[in-house]
Amino acid sequence: MPSAKPSKKNKKENLPKELSTEEIMKEAEEAEEHFQAEHLQNLDKDELKEILFMLENTDKEKEYEIVKNFYDKKKSPAIEKAKLGHRVWSYYYDNWIFRSIFFLTAPAIFFTVKKLTPDITTKNTVIAIAGYYVLLKLIWRLILAVKESSLSKKSAGSTFIRKKTGIVVLNKNGKPVNTLISFLRGLFRAFPFNLVCLIFMEISKNDRGLHDRIFGTYVLRLNEEVTEEEAASFIKSNYK
């Protein structure tokens, strides 16, 4: 059976809608912005920051504002609480450096003890190595305490690894703690109390460990430079 011919009315309805020049330009701009949005949504903040840097000294103000809008949405706040994951990794790497120093130097201590006291028993040798471990731990903890205390001008509030991750230890006034407090806080966090501190921090609503509460410290993550007043204001507003 031959198919029915479309009526003139149907033909007219299938014709594309005529658009004015202004409407065509508007749809083109909306399609371009939609494409940019879909593309920019998949970029991380570092990639967006690089694009902003390239657009900064050009005349593409509209494109710059679009990219900046996405960057501001993905940009981390200047100050935030240091989460458990950040703190565990910084603690692990600080201790990894210490253990590397110990295992590299322990054989020299062992052979020195053997040479100076040939008749020493195995038990006393183990005690000597254990004593060296404790002494080295105290020296290492003192170094970290100085690094994260107010005595250090270059990395006040932070240590070797924490400086890279933006983690700082401050008091309620937004200032680095003194060396003694930092030293005692670090000793309290030593094994097995470090497990207690981590468990306490996990169940705490304020992301503070038991050692933080005892020594009045706050561990923050700084994503950019802030003043002591800004840090103190954040602590006052976000901790109870």
Q: In the structure encoding, which two tokens stand for residue 40, read together?
A: 């920019």
Q: In the structure encoding, which two tokens stand for residue 62, read together?
A: 């509209």
CA proximity to 219, closest of 47, 88, 33: 88
Band the pLDDT of 57: cuts 50, 70, 90: confident
Give the pLDDT of residue 162. 67
* Distances in whole angstroms, Cα of residue 88 to Cα of each of 73, 95, 118, 164, 201: 27, 11, 42, 14, 11
Give the pLDDT of residue 138. 92
CA proximity to 79, closest of 198, 236, 239, 235: 235
Domain ranges of the chain: 80-238
pLDDT tens digits, residue range 124-183? 999 999 999 999 999 998 988 888 876 444 445 555 566 667 788 899 999 988 889 989
Q: In the structure encoding, which two tokens stand for residue 147, read together?
A: 């690094």
Give how far the C-alpha of residue 226 lies from the chain's centroid of Cα atoms, to the nearest Å.
15
What phi and psi, each to the nearest 5 degrees, are found at residue 11? -60, -40
- Please enumerate in sequence order all residues whose Cβ is within 8 A of that of 176, keeping only pairs 6 or more positions apart, or say none: 148, 149, 150, 152, 156, 157, 168, 169, 170
pLDDT tens digits, residue range 68-108? 887 777 667 888 888 877 777 777 888 888 899 999 999 99
In the three-class reduction of DSSP (H, G, I as helix; E, B as strand; rest coil), residue 219 is classed as: strand
Q: Say what the alpha-carbon torsion angle 51, 54, 59, 62 is, to the nearest 10 degrees.
A: 10
pLDDT higher than threshold 90 for residue 233: yes
Give the pLDDT of residue 11. 43
pLDDT higher than threshold 90 for residue 193: no
Q: Which single residue is written with the structure tokens 């000294």?
A: 57
% residues pLDDT > 70 (the chain): 75
Q: In the structure encoding, which two tokens stand for residue 41, read together?
A: 């949504």
Counting Cα atoms < 13 Å in the Cβ hemisphere of 10 gives 4
Side chain identity, residue 36 = Q
